[in-house]
Every structure is written in C-alpha cells, then in structure tokens.
Amino acid sequence: MTDRYAQAVNSGFTKTLAKKLGLPRPAILRRYRAGDPLTAGPVLVVADSASKSDADALSQVLLGWDVDVRRDAGDDVRWGAVVVVLTEAAEPTAVAEPLLAAGSALRRLAGSGRVVTVSRAPGESDAPALAATRQGVDAVVRSLGKELRGGATANGVVLVDDVEVGHPSVLATLRFFVSARSAYVDGQLLRVGPADTAAVAGAIGRDGRLEGQVAVVTGAARGIGTAIARTLARDGATVVCVDVPAAGEALAATANAIGGTTLQLDVTADDAGQRILDHARERHGRLDVVVHNAGITRDKLLANMKPAQWEPVVAVNLAAQLRINETLLGAGIEGLRIVSLASTSGIAGNKGQTNYGFSKAGVIGHTRATGRLLAATGGTANAVAPGFIETDMTARIPFTTREVARRLPSLAQGGQPVDVAEAIAFLASPEAAGVNGQVLRVCGQHLVGQ
C-alpha cells in the first residue's frame, strides 16, 4: 500500500507548498540495497573517558567495514551516523560530555542518519550510581528517537554480563542499527548476551550470511510473510513456504520466485510441527530457522466478544506456535533459530483487540521462556513486534484511523513489510547468536508501547 501523502510532500510543487505551510513531511527512508555503502556519510564515535578503549576498538571495526570514522564532533561534515560508547561509564556525571558532543553533531546528521549507543545493562549487584547511569541510557535513546528528523533513528546496543564490545553479536547488532536494514526500527535497545559465535565472526555483514541454511516461514503466501521469505532467500537461505491450502496458488508463486518449496498446512493441526520438521529434513536435509508469521485478527470489543472471535485468534497466533515449538525442542536441533511475530498491540494493548493483544503478549512471554530452553543447544528464540505496516490488511482500516496510525510514530509514516523482514533476517542469522529471548519493535517508534 502506498502512502500518497508522504510521496506528495516530498516531490515537486507539493513539496515546496508543504514547506511553506509547515505541513508534516515524513522522510523517504533509506532502505537496504545491495552495493550501497553501509552509512550515508562519515561516522562520529564519541565516548566517556573510561570507555575510550572500547571506542577505539569499535572505531577499528568500523574502519574495517570501509566506513570513514571520525572522533571529533567539530569536523565540518554531514554525519552518516553517531556512535556513543558508554560501556564503562560508572557515574551519572560521566555521560554528559559524550552525549553533548553527539548532540552538537545532530544538526549535521544526514537524512536517514543513525545514532547508536553502546552501553551495559544494569546488574542486580550494581552500586546505585552505576545502576542509575546504565538505566539512564534507556531514556536517552527513546527520547532522542522522538527528537530526530529526516528519517534519522536512535537505537542502543546493550551488553549483558561480561560481554565485551568485540563479541561478534555486539558488532553484528551495531552494524544492523547503523545500516539501512533498520530503516523502521527507532527508539529500541537490544540486549546482547554471552554466546559462542567464534565460527561466524568473519561472516558479519557479508552477503549470503544464511547460505546453506534452511528456513521455514509460516503465513508465507502474502504480505509480511512473502517479504520474509524473499529476504531470507536473498540472504542465501533455502526457504520452505508454509500456508493454508486455500492460499496454495499465492504460496506457490512466492516459493517459485525464490527457488523454495511449499508446504500446504494449517498450523493449528496437532501434527503441524512434525510435518514441518519432516518436510525440511526430507526435502532439504536439515532445519535451521523457523519464522512464526502466521496470524489472524477477529477484532471486537470484549463486551461483544464471542468464542468465534476469541478462540481462532489464540489458536493460530499463540497455541500453534507453542505446539510447533514443543516438537522442535524435542528434536534437539543444534543452533536452531526461532523468530516469532508479536505486535505492539501485545505490548500496550489496542481497543477491540483483547483477543489479539492476549495472543501477541503470549508470544512475547513464550519467546523469553523458549530462548532459555534453546540456549542449551546453541539456539535462540526472539520476537519482532511490528507497529503499523503498509499491507493489504491495514489498507482496509478506515481512512482517518489509518492516517492517524501512520503519523503517530516518530518517523511519521507506516513501515513496509520488508522492514519487518530485515529485522527477522538479522535475528535469524548465526551472527545474532548473542541475542536471545528479546523483542525487537519495528514500529518507527510508535506512540503505542513506548
């Protein structure tokens, strides 16, 4: 679905008129295209005095990614990104200098620029001042995301336990946030914990990072599911496209376009997990990634809600995932990556969606628990929570409601299915092994759930 207003105020006479009238002008977001540079300009790296060695290490990594790295906020350039390193900041007073230096560069931040903090998570045994400093970074990121303009975003990489900045998953998360792959991710902090990623350290950022992997995507016949299947295939995976028999024609079209295979299946069937596992192993010899995308809505105020609206939503959106995961966990697959579709409605709720909100909050709950179980075999479980995404389903929302939903995010527009797909492709990759049990919102920093 096209956001005609955003297109109009960014082109021709209408653009000039919108400027004169002071109308909101959602930016045209910079999205990933093969061959494009990682950032839209040089990257400024600043740090507090205690974190300088970590900033030096990250600067060397960025240089290795062919990025022009600067350490002086006074350089007269158009910044592609600003990275603020606060990993060793221990007192609230320590963060002022680097944050204000970053702030002084923001007026020269390029369109679709990036601000990324790298900090540590508060620990249960932290002294009060240390806990305050670390927790404070959270609000800095979320507040800054609401201040930036021109499609720029602010996000944070949060190190857990004794993880160091050179950990491959820390570097991969940093790369995701500074890249165009995170176009619609704003005001989010992603925790990175310990994980054995030595075997994939050299794969960070390379094309074909899912080469040799087999991925299953449910609900793949249309919309976000099709975008997920295409993006995983672009990154090298062989994709098994799953959907109900009624969607068989569209499902086949998706699979044929990416060289994948189809499995016509109702995910609520008792044997759905075993059929997915058998198909992947029999046709492709292995199973590495499962994306739970299948979902439905049956919106109704709770006062008017009947079993016909409640039960199917919970069955498809939540119970099916639990049942399939139980089969997959029982199979003991080494390094399995499970990524589930949650929703901002499962975080903050939404009028007329008690059933949907329950199911999506349940996805978040089981993701955290499943992540702990999969860690024993080197696997991960994570969730992606989309906000307003431009799909055929949201196109059916009444015009006024749809326009309000589009303009509420900090980015003042809806996301595209590919934005959700890019986040899933990152979480499904071996380099994200240190990200486990997390929920990543792809919502343009929507007012809902922030």
Residues marked as catalytic: 356
Distance CA(379)–CA(377), nearest Å, equals: 6
3-state secondary structure of 188: strand
For residue 24, with 0-12 CB atoms within 10 Å meaning exposed, 13-18 middle and 19 or more buried, which class applies?
Answer: exposed
Identify any residues that bridge with 191 across adjacent strands, giving them in sequence order: 158
DSSP state of 349: -
**Cα dist. 180→61, 184, 293, 300, 344 in Å?**
18, 9, 23, 37, 22
Q: Which of 405, 294, 409, 310 is nearest to 357 (CA)?
A: 310
Phi then psi for residue 389, to 5 deg, are: -115, 140
3-state secondary structure of 289: strand
Dihedral over Cα of 152, 153, 154, 155: its sign:
negative
Residue type, position 215, single letter: A
3-state secondary structure of 158: strand
Q: In this structure, how many other beta carbons lie within 10 angstroms of the beta carbon of residue 69?
A: 18
Pairing of strands 238-243, 79-85: unpaired
Phi then psi for residue 87, to 5 deg, are: -65, -30
Phi then psi for residue 381, to 5 deg, are: -135, 125
Which tokens belong to 143?
């507040």
Phi then psi for residue 438, to 5 deg, are: -100, 160
